[in-house]
Amino acid sequence: MPNRTARLTILIDQQTKKELEELAALSDLTTSQVIRKLIKDYLEDSDSPPMHPQKHLIQ
């Protein structure tokens, strides 16, 4: 079975999106390629186990 991909939707402000697109284009990459690399690097660099949502107590 081929390796399937999953869609991830994020919200960023227009200026950040514009800057990301411009920088990615300078490297002849798509924004998706840049974001995938950032996520992969983040996961590889993490020395701790995966984060779990913290349960906050309502006082």
> What pLDDT, in 10s, does the model give residues 29-56?
999 999 999 999 999 998 766 665 555 5
Q: What is the pTM of this model?
A: 0.69
Q: Is the pLDDT of residue 23 over 80?
A: yes
pLDDT of 51 = 60
CB 18, CB 24: distance < 8 Å: no
> Contact 16/23 with Cβ under 8 angstroms?
no
Mean predicted confidence (pLDDT) in 20-32: 98
